[in-house]
Every structure is written in C-alpha cells, then in structure tokens.
Amino acid sequence: MSDWIKILLYFIASILLALIVAPLVIKIMAKLRAKQTVLGYVKQHEAKNGTPTMGGFIFLLPATIFPLIEFSAFSAVAVSVMVGFCILGFLDDFIKIHYARNLGLKAYQKIIGQLGLGVAVGYFVYASRFIGGELIFPFGVSLDIKWGIIIFTVIVYVATTNSVNLTDGLDGLAGYTSAAYFIAFSLVLFFLWRDAEAAGDAEYAKQLLSLTIYSVCLLGGLLGYLVFNGYPAKIMMGDTGSLALGAGVATVAVFAKIPILIAVAGIMFVFSSISVIVQVLFFKLTKKRVFLMAPFHHHLEMKGMHESKIVTLYFVVSMLAGAITLIFARA
C-alpha cells in the first residue's frame, strides 16, 4: 500500500470514528449533566445554556489513536502534548460544570499549566535533530535561534491555544476555522514528506509522514464533529477541546519548523486575540470600546449578522489564508 493511500485511509477512518462516537459522547455528557454555562453578558446566547459540552473528545479520539499506529517521536510527542492540554481544559470545564458557572480555572492556574506544557515541548523541539533551533521563513530564508527555540515555542503554544480558545465562541466557528487550517497544513506536510523522500532522508521522511497523519486525523475528526457542532450545535467542544485543538494547531507548524505560518493559515485565530487585546487596552486608556463586543465574532453578532454567516465568513477567509500559506511554504 502506498503511503499517500494510507494517509487518505487514516483521514476516512477519523471521520467515521468521530461520526460513530459523537452520539455516544453527547448522550454521556447529557447524562453526566456536563452542560454549557454561557457568560451572563452574552445575552444572544442564552438559549445555548444547557447544551452538552466537552465535545472535544469526539475529534480528539481519532487524533490520539491513529497517529500512534504510525509511531514516531513526532507523533508520540504531538499526541502527548495534545492530551496534556486536553487535561488542562478538562479541569477548567469540570470546575465550570461542578459549580454551574462560566469561570473555571483561575487565569494564573491555566497559564502555569500552559507554560509547563510549552517548556516540555520546547525542550523536545530543541533536542530533536530533526528540528532544533531552526526557523524557516518564506522564500527560502531560515534562522537558527539555538536554545532560544525553547522560549519561542512556549510563546507559540500559549498564544495559539488561547487564540483558538477565544475563537470558540459560536457554533462551528473554531471547528470550521481549524478545519481550513489543517487542510492547508496537511498539504504542506505532505509536500515536505515527499521532499524528504526524494532527498533520500528516510528517517526524517518517517517523522513527517507521522506528522501528516496526525494532521489529517485532526482534520477528519473535526469534520465528523462538525456534523453535530454546526448551527444549531448539539454539543460544544469546551476548553477540553479548544485547548487541545490549539495545541494541535501549534504542533504541526512548530514540528515542521514553520511556526511563522501560523499567523497566515490561522489568521482568524490571530484576529480573535488582537481584537480582545485592542478592546481591553483601548478601554483602559479611554473608557471607550472599539468593538461592540470582543472577540470580533461577537461584534459581528451585535451588528446583526447571523452566527452561521459569521462562521462562513471565517471559513472562507481561512481557506484563502490556507492557499496563501501553501504558496509561502513552497516558495
């Protein structure tokens, strides 16, 4: 069996597994009363109160199982980091559910967990002979930042996981945006794997193949999950899913030595964070708001745009950004 067919089979299997387990996860979460508590000031989402949460398990299951079949250092660490952020998110969700509130872990507790996981993966990146301190930029430019890659990796993981978490505010928004991201990166990784094979670097090619499979498994799992998370959502991913998903977003780029392209393929994640930062800083300085509500997708809601249209807009922009990412990655 050729490797590209194997990649497609893992993709198909991930969709099917997500579709199979989703009704079970929804039923379990409803029975355990693991339900969403919406922020009090988000009045337009009051009807979402009581929707089952922790739906991230639906797409995380195939992304955990299948990449480990093609075992390598890349796939083992990618899955481990994702599971670590999943546990952090689960603790946050559990506290929210147990106390029936929208506030889970305290900010400093969450950031400590993110920093700890970021340092662990940062050290792996630095110690790996396949990654090291090298950063690759578009048009063949590269930079070796040596041990500084550890600090840089920590920043990337903290920023990315929080940005994906902020984007998870509407039915299907984080899911569709992430799906567009993983479409782009699955193709980027596929081409990098083929390049390594053509260069005769079998060991590196094996690592990249496993990372490609990890990416397509996340993509397939997300597509299966979105059948149940699209408007109106039957289940939310919760922080259990969004933090783990953010870890996956960071991992495929960091391990490929192109974390700079997260800002391109994940432009809507970046924009979610920027809109919150701008809103907070501007309000502290002027006591006025730039947006009706932040992140930006809530501003669009307040302007009268239906959330399904907002999701479509984010998806289209993300697909466009993914195409640009492919150009930059191959330039």
pLDDT digits (tens, 9 = 90+) for 235-283: 999 999 999 999 999 999 999 999 999 999 999 999 999 999 999 999 9
Total Cβ atoms within 10 A of residue 107? 8
Q: Kindly report, residue by residue over 125-143, the tens digit of the pLDDT.
A: 999 999 999 999 998 899 9
Distance CA 267, CA 99 (A): 34
pLDDT 10s digits, 292-317: 999 999 999 999 999 999 999 999 99
Exposure string for 13-35, b = 16+ CB within 10 A, e = fewer: bbbebbbebbeebbeebeeeebb
Task: Indicate whether 32 pLDDT > 80.
Answer: yes
Q: What is the mean pLDDT of the chain?
A: 93
SS3 state of residue 134: strand
**pTM given for the model:** 0.95
Residue 304 burial (10 A CB sphere; 0-12, 13-18, 19+):
exposed
What whole-number distance in Å separates Cα of residue 226 and Cα of residue 38? 20
Q: What is the pLDDT of residue 103?
A: 72
Q: Which amino acid is at 177?
A: T
The pLDDT-based confidence of 31 (bands split at 50, 70, 90) is: confident
Mean pLDDT, residues 213-232 taken together: 97
User: By CB neighbour count within 10 A (0-12 exposed, 13-18 middle, 19+ buried), where does 98 fall?
Assistant: exposed
Is the pLDDT assigned to residue 104 strictly greater than 80? no
What are the extents of the domains in the chain? 3-262
**pLDDT tens-digit map of 51-72:** 899 999 999 999 999 999 989 9
More reliable by pLDDT, 46 or 316: 316
